[in-house]
Chains A and B, each alone.
Chain A
């Protein structure tokens, strides 16, 4: 592992330099962290931002073509600063969907060209439960550079050739990392994991390995209807989820021509599975809520041996009806126990 030190001032200088080749996106602190285009100031986010990084690889709405031609876009790739381990884990799912043959070329280009400067989590939100899913609070994969704050600067870890190139091209900004800094960061990472586990323990959630069977064996559980009755179908859980990938292909009219466009879609909307003849397999909110869990904890588990959940808690945070994934799993585990 190759580690460097960069001062806060030099890091801001680096981001300004990267603006030549990238649209640099960094967190903006308001009541929470939101993504914004980087200008002068950089704020290190202690935990994940409100929105996932999905939008930088597969935008929420995009025009793919004008009949019958593809639109040629000249756009700088993104440099995403402050992505967290949970964000990066979601790329396992998005890659599976969009890089399976035939590939979505836009997505592939974004994956190849975007630069990811991720960061350690040095704090967490009440809704965070990443460690339940064996996701650590610091990135281990899918980053080009990772930063971890220390002593008015950051320890920088190189995660890819692209990241290495950034270091080489901007060499004067970096120093070798000091041994005591590395020890301090490793210690903080360890403590962060301990803190997350003790937070998790207090929540008394079922174990990771049981989540698959808790869903598969409980299609008829009462919890689906009970929780779905609260759902107002706003779709916030879908739009904020880093692993949701469903989308709608649609046409829109220009003055003389037509555009083919894509927007995010999701299974919590009532017409998601409706066909022209009128049939709608997911006609009830309870079916749709259950479908979301089947997709994330059964479908992807069978396909990839991974849950399509990063433990980021965004679905919990964003739900105005206070539907809580953790509570659903707890209730399913109680009903399992009761059945036995």
Chain B
């Protein structure tokens, strides 16, 4: 079978997260499994593909979720889609989060906006085997209270033993009583041992840039900072050439990178 042909996947459920973000639940026809942090190419037949990282627990192999913001052509169509339609799926592609490197460590997870979607998949896999890890610290920033995804789940997660959750918004409103400020503003006094910690960052490029600088200031070593990068991934196989960054293809060598492996690439934040 050609590597460019997708398999059928049924859209079985749609959950509205915010005004422009929805979570779509898919059931692939021929079975599918992924490692947390890997991405897929989702096709709207006749219109094309777009890359997404599943947001569900990889231990669930029957179905998977993708949380999608309505920003482009394919995502626009998906947001108008109805449950029951059949879409195309290729993947999973790339390397996910190296969970073995996280064993017995404090894990700081920093998300921005819809960047929490891939991190939810990571969080859910960590929760599934929580005994293997020391502590999980989640710091999440959204533009406004209306833009917070997984609102109810964030509350549930904060109740889990060994899990510490803090949320902030760039701009508050009359309903908001929590933190106001960029996500970097809640990266102080972190309840973890930086010498035995790793950090995982996912969000818009500008947020990842400043969070990475902040983490370095806090004393995280470049090898202990993991970034989920995004470019115009298309084939997912390191062949079509769209997502080159330095000597890497994000689709094949990433999308998860240690900062130490990419820090010398001059256009990393472009």
Q: Quick check: is B8 within 8 A (CB to CB) of the other chain?
A: yes
A276 close to B72 (CB less than 8 A): yes
Contact present for A68 and B239 (CB under 8 Å): no
Interface membership of B214, Cβ < 8 A: no
Neighbour of B239 across the interface among A97, A274, A275, CB < 8 A: A97
Q: How far is the CA of A267 from the CA of B243 in the complex (A)?
A: 11
Q: Which residues of B contact A246 (CB under 8 A)?
A: 240-242
Q: Are A248 and B2 in contact (CB under 8 A)?
A: no
Q: Is B18 interfacial (CB-CB < 8 Å)? A: no
Chain A residues, Cβ within 8 Å of B247: 299, 302-303
Query: Could you say which of A100, A265, A278, A302 contacts B240, with CB atoms under 8 Å apart?
Result: A265
What residues of chain A lie closer than 8 Å to B239, measured between beta carbons?
Answer: 97-98, 100, 104, 245, 247
State which of B2, B48, B243 has its C-beta within 8 Å of the C-beta of A106. Answer: B2
Q: How far, in Å, is A305 (CB) from chain B's closest CB?
A: 13
Give B73-101 as 1s and 0s: 1 = Cβ < 8 Å from A's Cβ atoms: 11100000000000010000000000000
The distance from the CB of A301 to the nearest CB of chain B, in whole angstroms, is 10
- Which residue of chain B is the closest to A298 with respect to CB atoms? B247
The answer to whether A219 touches B5 (Cβ under 8 A) is no
Known contacts being A67-B88, A251-B47, A276-B74, is A260 close to B4, with CB within 8 Å?
A: yes
Number of A-B contacts (CB under 8 A): 103
User: Nearest Cβ in chain B — how far from A91, in angstroms?
Assistant: 15
Q: Which residue of A lies closest to B270 (CB)?
A: A281
- CA distance in complex: A246, B244 (Å): 11
CB-CB nearest in chain B for A247: B240
Give the Cβ gap from B265 to chain A, nearest Cβ, in Å. Answer: 11
Q: Is A306 an interface residue (CB 8 A)?
A: no
A253 to B50 CA separation, bound complex (whole angstroms): 17
Interchain nearest-CB distance for A266 vs B (Å): 8
> Which A residues lie within 8 Å of B44 (CB)?
251
Which residues of chain B (43-82) have a CB below 8 Å from chain A? 43-50, 71-75
Q: Once the chains are docked, how many angstroms separate the CA of A299 from the CA of B238? A: 13
Name the B residues within 8 Å of A267 (CB-CB): 241
Are the C-beta atoms of A219 and B240 separated by less than 8 Å?
no
A97 to B1 CA separation, bound complex (whole angstroms)? 18
* Minimal Cβ-Cβ distance residue in A for B9: A68
A104–B230 alpha-carbon span in the complex (Å): 24
What distance in Å separates the Cβ of A264 from its nearest Cβ neighbour in chain B?
A: 10
List residues 270-316 of chain A with CB under 8 A from any CB of chain B.
272-279, 281, 295, 299, 302-303
A302 proximity list for chain B (CB < 8 A):
247
Whether B231 lies near A281 (C-beta < 8 A) is yes
Shortest C-beta distance, B214 to chain A (Å), equals: 21
Question: With the chains together, A106 CA to B239 CA distance in Å?
Answer: 13
Give, as a whole number of angstroms, the nearest-CB distance from A248 to chain B: 7
Assuming the contacts A64-B5, A106-B2, asked whether A277 and B72 have C-beta atoms less than 8 A apart, the reply is: yes
8 A Cβ contacts from B220-246 to A: 230-232, 234-235, 237-244
Interface size on B, residues (CB 8 A): 41
Q: In this assembly, does B181 line the interface, its C-beta being within 8 Å of a C-beta of chain A? A: no
Q: Quick check: B2 and A251 within 8 Å, CB to CB?
A: no
Q: Is B156 in contact with chain A by the CB < 8 A criterion?
A: no
On whether the beta carbons of B238 and A100 are closer than 8 Å, the reply is: yes
A40 to B252, CA, bound (A): 47
The interface residues of chain A lying within 8 Å CB-to-CB of B242 are 246, 265, 272-273
**List of B residues within 8 angstroms of A67 by Cβ:** 6, 45, 88
CA distance A274 to B48 in the complex (A): 15
Q: Is A198 an interface residue (CB 8 A)?
A: no
Q: Which residues of B contact A100 (CB under 8 A)?
A: 238-239
**Residue A77 lies at the interface, judged by CB distance under 8 Å to chain B:** no
What is the distance, in angstroms, from A237's C-beta to the closest C-beta of chain B?
A: 14
Q: What string of 1s and 0s marks CB contacts (under 8 Å) between B1-15 and chain A?
A: 111111110000000
- For the complex, what is the distance from the CA of A246 to the CA of B249, rounded to whole Å? 12
Question: Nearest-CB distance from B83 to chain A (Å)?
Answer: 19
For residue B50, which residues in chain A have a CB less than 8 angstroms away from its CB? 276
A303 shortest CB reach to chain B, Å: 7
Which of B74, B204, B242, B270 counts the most A-chain CB atoms under 10 A from its CB? B242
Least CB distance, B229 to chain A, in whole angstroms: 11
Complex interface: chain B residues within 8 A of A250 (CB): 48
Q: Does B267 contact A (CB under 8 A)?
A: yes
Q: Given A68-B88, A265-B241, are A258 and B46 neighbors across the interface (CB < 8 Å)?
A: yes
User: Given A247-B240, A276-B50, 10 more contacts at CB 8 Å?
Assistant: A67-B88, A68-B88, A103-B3, A249-B240, A251-B44, A272-B242, A275-B72, A275-B230, A281-B270, A302-B247
Q: Could you list 12 examples of A-B contacts with CB < 8 Å?
A: A70-B2, A105-B2, A219-B266, A245-B239, A246-B240, A247-B239, A251-B45, A251-B47, A251-B49, A265-B240, A276-B71, A303-B247
Shortest beta-carbon contacts, A-B, top 9 = A276-B72, A246-B241, A281-B270, A258-B46, A65-B5, A258-B45, A253-B46, A276-B71, A64-B4
